[in-house]
Structure 1
């Protein structure tokens, strides 16, 4: 409901409402785009373009839909346009990676956590683009399946099927990693 009030304020000319909307959604959009293209500066640029589109097309927003789904759909489309235009593959810039170690955990736990994080990132990066987007939306935005279906322009059943297939595939992948290579006799 808060988003609807902000949208109405923007449509009535209140620039402060647009600033509040940007403060709320800019980190979400940047994280979503970054998870697709793995380039921090480009993700920031695309996020800015998304907000320009939102500002210029806000009167087209259907208030029956969740605003977060609408803006994420714009971000998804803008990112796909960028990827098509520049035929970009995802590369990770080492400088963009954040340190995950803290003083609160032991070096062994930190190492295990880093290993697990790398394993998860590798698994997600190997997924097809739609599956990758579903996982990103589910875990970085904590979106519902309905929200994801709307953003991805897919049927709800398709989103759920793909999500559970990826999740089960990851469980199998991790159980193989823990067992190591097994030889059949």
Structure 2
């Protein structure tokens, strides 16, 4: 919606607050989810998301449209997450591993339970990957971004992204095999 408004030139007619509201409505959940994949803590991810949109508001008038709004917002999110990892809090406080289960709407309780359990295991394995592999898995599979978009977002070559994604898949596969997860889940 926001991208369409911008293409038609109508976004410039909206107030700064209205443009921020559009960004928050369109990307709010994605920002929290992306921040969570870095921090592994729900409350912290929500705090980072708030800071992301504060930064968006502060810089909305200077946005140069060299990338999409999604890429811009995700870049801010990743930078804030990385800043957090360099902070005193991260280095001196233990972060608990929390993973929200994704729910599936299936017919039987048994099938639903199996899907939730499979998703929990895969989610834990993804979150256990080193950050450089975890971020490409999340951006590619969960955020459905292209190699080109990920490349611009992380400021790396597409070949590096492809290589990390390949290595991440191998590490994830080995991790899942060690956990004896049924292959039909993959």
TM-score range (shorter-chain normalised) is 0.7 to 0.9
CA distance in 2, matches of 1:6, 1:32: 29
Residue segments in structure 2 that go unaligned for 5+ positions in a row = none
**Number of equivalences:** 177
Work out which of the two has the higher radius of gyration on C-alpha atoms and give 1 or 2.
Answer: 1
Residue of structure 1 equivalent to 2:20: 18
Gap change, CA 1:47 and 1:168, over 3 Å in 2: same
Determine if the alignment matches structure 1 residue 123 to structure 2 residue 102. Answer: no
CA contact (8 A) 2:139 2:150 kept: yes
Q: 2-11 vs 109-118, which deviates more?
A: 2-11
Aligned CA distance change for structure 1 residues 115 and 9 (closer, same or farther; 3 Å): closer
Residue in structure 2 matched with residue 80 of structure 1 by the alignment: 82
Q: Which residue of 1 aligns with 2:58?
A: 56
The match for 1:92 is 97
CA RMSD, Structure 1 to Structure 2 (Å): 2.9
| Helix, strand or coil at the partner of 2:21 | helix
- Runs (5+) with no aligned partner, structure 1: 181-185
| TM-score (norm. length: structure 2) | 0.79
**Which residue does 1:70 correspond to in 2?**
72
How much has 1:139 moved relative to structure 2?
A: 2.0
Contact persistence 2:106–2:112 (CA under 8 A): no
The change in CA–CA distance for 1:11 and 1:57 in structure 2 (over 3 A counts) is: farther
Contact conserved, 1:73 with 1:152, CA < 8 A, in 2?
Answer: yes
Q: Give TM-score scaled by structure 1 length.
A: 0.79
Cα deviation for residue 142 of structure 1 reads 0.8
What is the CA distance between 1:67 and its match in structure 2? Answer: 1.7
Q: CA deviation at 1:10?
A: 5.6
Counterpart contact for 1:39–1:92, Cα < 8 Å: yes
Work out whether residues 37 and 91 of structure 1, in 8 Å CA contact, stay in contact via their aligned partners in 2: no
Distance 1:72 1:99 in 2: 21
Cα displacement string for residues 156-182 of structure 1 (whole angstroms, at most 9, x for unaligned residues): 1100111022123333444555599xx
Equivalent residue number for residue 183 of structure 1: none
